Structure 1
């Protein structure tokens, strides 16, 4: 396994380590503290499968100690059995932020600095804003700093740069900005209303994601089940083969509908879509 990496969930820290296959393992003590288990060892023994439990020496305040780590399936087992309200938010953070980022980029970086090349689009947007509205660069950058709560554009996370560029473009198009600084962000362009709420659309996206997980897992276990003589094995593989295109179409439909949802739910829905598409890929 690789070096331990600390991830931050709300006010808590979760120590993790990636194995040689790139799969993430979570320190059981940290997970149990978030989920409200008073006895981590007992919680792991009662709820986790032994195959997904591993010990490794980890540096602590008391020196190196043998600590228990659990894999992703065992993490979900602890989440499901938890009665703490934070469990749902923790699951959402893992499934919609941490794991998709790792699978897309190969790592989950916290506070990683961007390069000058990364910020080219933002600088160009600022130049257009200054030229179009007749304000100075200091005022333009001050609005960005205030909007993203940073002291310099170098402190804007890489995944927030597209949002920063879009914000500056919105300022450029805002008719009320002429040689002055906005006291608030421009109002978004009105979108046609959905017949359902943004929250209901998000629930639908989550259901599609879980369905994609179930269908993909059925495909993964169909071969060994067939060897064991399971009559449903062929059907499990067939369901996956015939459903992949529909899952992709569902992801595309959700992406189109998310444009009409409120910003918060639209962002949450879009974060799920790469995972659905990945699960439906060959």
Structure 2
């Protein structure tokens, strides 16, 4: 039988385990995931190792961050293979609660944010970040980590989590994990598995088009023109739709008109029903 990282499934179990670790003076790290783990997730586990003595990897497909027409039912659930992959990392325990454990009958509370959660992804996926903020807040309360890490692929999600953690005075250090890419530069994502062979080839052009935008932005070209050119290039490459290509402030994610400090290009392009996210840093001149 393959080696697997041990699993607990209830809030009482994880709290009891963390209490034991804390009594020993150990520092606890949390890597929240929705499972279907790939090398991007595993890189987060390895990255948090230097900041923690014990590492919890949560696996929970959170229904409150999916919209009515999104892929909740189709989202891959591969707990056994996830635990096998984690066995080769420093992960200490998997926390894999049921929906009923996380949202028992009568649960009515949501964590909501103004501003940052209403633009870009928030405007395209109404209520998505309320679901993210709620589940991450619950995981922080349940696991009581000293530090937690989130991948930079979901750049706006990372910004949202940093914001509500500050606003609510939650004593958890938030780390950003480097965006991990496939050999052709496509951002690693569980949803890449949905792509057909043809779609996968098209997807590989996403990062190439954004790199060209970054190069031109750093050379001082007009930012709005560059956004339009990149959108056109994505459609020409075979993407079926572009939700947005936006050059924004790296922290507030508000649109900017010139590069005076490090900025970010954030983008979502679609291949059929599959939404692909990417982002890149733009250096100041």
Q: TM-score range with shorter-chain normalisation?
A: under 0.3
Q: Which has the higher helix share?
A: 1
If you compute each CA radius of gyration, which structure gives the higher value, 1 or 2?
A: 1
Q: TM-score, normalised by structure 1?
A: 0.22
TM-score by length of 2: 0.22
